[in-house]
């Protein structure tokens, strides 16, 4: 079993200003601001709570990173089915109050006593323990900022349920209906499309 992380007394938190926008690709069967896992379900994502006491919603700072994190999780991906895209929506989410995020990149790694593997490794059990320790910390961060594992040119954000009131959906539309954007994303990642 992975030992519980030993965190510093004060966390080196980043402040995110009101008005900042993030993106999220989500199943049309779920709300855009969906915090998981569902009650009674085991944790499956990187920063989910291993004991189920809190929920997490994941975002990307760009549409590109959202696409990579959603569809390119099991490389190599060369072709996507149109049906997979048709069941997804793209939401733009606006930060409505200042949020404080724990950066899991750059110099913050050394200050935490961690490595980038926390955000990019295969050991989700360890990442989940870190998330739990951060959630319990007295500084009460609103979430975690980390580099995408599938497109490290951009950042992802894992927001804890306690910060849900600081977020608002400002747009939500079908991914497949936006033909130009979809074509650009497919070209960027060298992915084809099939029926």
Q: What is the pLDDT of residues 1-44, one digit of tens each?
A: 466 788 999 999 999 999 999 999 999 999 999 999 988 899 99
Query: With a cut of 50, which residues of the chain have pLDDT below it?
Result: 1
Query: Quick one: pLDDT at residue 195?
Result: 83
Give me the pLDDT at residue 2, please: 60
Amino acid 170: pLDDT:
97
pLDDT on residue 4 = 73
Terminal Cα-to-Cα distance of the chain (whole angstroms): 44
**Cβ–Cβ under 8 Å, residues 101 and 16:** yes
**pTM score, whole prediction:** 0.95
**Which two structure tokens, joined as six digits, stand for 92?**
């733009």
pLDDT at 79: 95
């Amino acid at each position: 079993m992975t030992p519980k992380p030993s965190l510093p007394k004060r966390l080196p938190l980043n402040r995110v200003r009101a008005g900042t926008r993030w993106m999220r690709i989500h199943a049309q069967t779920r709300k855009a601001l969906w915090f998981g896992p569902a009650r009674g379900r085991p944790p499956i994502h990187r920063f989910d709570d291993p004991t189920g006491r809190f929920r997490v919603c994941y975002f990307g700072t760009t549409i590109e990173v959202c696409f990579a994190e959603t569809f390119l999780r099991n490389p190599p991906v060369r072709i996507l089915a149109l049906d997979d895209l048709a069941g997804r929506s793209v939401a733009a989410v606006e930060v409505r109050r200042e949020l404080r995020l724990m950066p899991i990149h750059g110099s913050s790694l050394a200050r935490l006593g961690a490595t980038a593997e926390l955000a990019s490794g295969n050991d989700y059990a360890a990442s989940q323990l870190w998330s739990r320790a951060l959630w319990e910390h007295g500084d009460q961060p609103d979430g975690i900022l980390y580099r995408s594992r599938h497109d490290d040119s951009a950042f992802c954000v894992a927001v804890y349920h306690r910060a849900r009131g600081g977020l608002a959906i400002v747009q939500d539309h079908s991914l497949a209906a936006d033909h130009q954007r979809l074509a650009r994303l497919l070209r960027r990642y060298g992915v084809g499309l099939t029926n």
